[in-house]
Amino acid sequence: MANPRKPRRLDHLVLPVPELDLCRTRHEELGFRVAPDARHPFGTENACVFFEDGTYLEPLAIAVREECEAAAREGNVFVARDQAYRFRRGENGFSALVTSSPDARADHARFIADGISAGDMLEFSRPMKQPDGSETAASFRLAFAADLRSPDFFGFSVERIAMPAADRSALTAHENGVTGISEIVLSETNPTDFQYFIQELADNREVEAHSFGMEIALDGAVINVMTPEGLKAFFGIEAKCHGRGLKARGIVYRVRDLAATEHVLTAKGIAASHQGNRLVVLPEPGQGAFYAFEERK
């Protein structure tokens, strides 16, 4: 019988930052257009970077620490995992991969059955500011997945219960030419130890092994779990793996014209190195992962 599962679509990536102003400045220096700040009802805030392919970055900061701590005590997995990440890894990083979902309740049940549920579901609404300055309400339902052997990375699926139509074309026109995300790069000493978890998070049983780890496809992007040697060989990244477990390291972006992207980065004083057919920018305050740019039509 054919496998009925279909790889999930990448929705967004969560990147803890110490403060949104620092993140905004750094990403604008990199040639990204950053959306207005937005608040969650549990003490966190974000300033997202949206792309043409429907994916986005969610730089996440703490707006009101007391609200975050109260939410974590009440079982809010999103906030509790963010607090744990900041305690272990610092205020500048890359903590979670999020897939889109037509039914987060079904995902939650599947995560429980698979032994990878990270805790209770989360349902919330928040105001959403439109490009014209008006505000509407958006509602979400989240189901969380984690591996206890890997405290520095988790995933969740998000179902949009109510999402007002919005024209984001102005927010997806980036000076650096980025149109979307093609690859999410994780590291682990022995990547296949986490094959099952990544397969269930991606909802895809197919695995492509390579000499430095494994790739598991999402719809429109790839999760690449690499050894430290692979990070060095492919991206020029020196990864310090002091302990076992998955760590989110980098994001590979699609651009239409790599030479044009390099011109923008150079003009803005951003140091980038050529690694094969990619340009790689190392992490900096406000940018907790390495960013790689590759030309794809």
SS (H, E, C) 181-213: EEEEEEECCCHHHHHHHHHHHHCCCCCEEECCE
Taking 70 as the pLDDT cut, the residues of the chain under it are 1-4, 129-134, 164, 241-242, 297
Token couple for 110: 């599947």
CATH 3.10.180.10 residue ranges for the chain: 10-162, 178-295
Give the length of the chain.
Answer: 297
Task: Judge whether 140 and 161 are in contact, CB under 8 Å.
Answer: yes
Token couple for 87: 């305690």
- DSSP character for 242? -
Locate the DSSP E strands across 108-177. 122-129, 135-145, 154-162
Which residue bears the tokens 């002091």? 242
The contacts of residue 134 (CB under 8 Å, 6+ apart) are none
Q: What is the pLDDT of residues 166-213, one digit of tens each?
A: 778 899 999 999 999 999 999 999 999 999 999 999 999 999 999 999
What distance in Å separates the CA atoms of residue 23 and residue 12, rounded to the nearest whole number? 17
Homologous superfamily of the 178-295 domain (CATH): 2,3-Dihydroxybiphenyl 1,2-Dioxygenase, domain 1 (3.10.180.10)
Give the burial string for 69-99 (b: 16+ CB within 10 Å, else e). Answer: eebbeeebbbbbbbbebbeebeebbbbbbbb
The yes/no answer on whether domain 10-162 falls in CATH 3.40.50.150 is: no
The contacts of residue 158 (CB under 8 Å, 6+ apart) are 11, 12, 98, 99, 100, 101, 104, 140, 141, 142
**Amino acid in the structure at residue 75:** G
What distance in Å separates the CA atoms of residue 121 and residue 104, rounded to the nearest whole number? 8
Alpha helices in the chain, H assignment, sequence order: 20-29, 65-73, 77-89, 104-114, 195-202, 228-235, 258-267
pLDDT at 163: 73
Please give the angle made by the CA atoms of 259, 269 and 264, to the nearest 5 degrees: 30
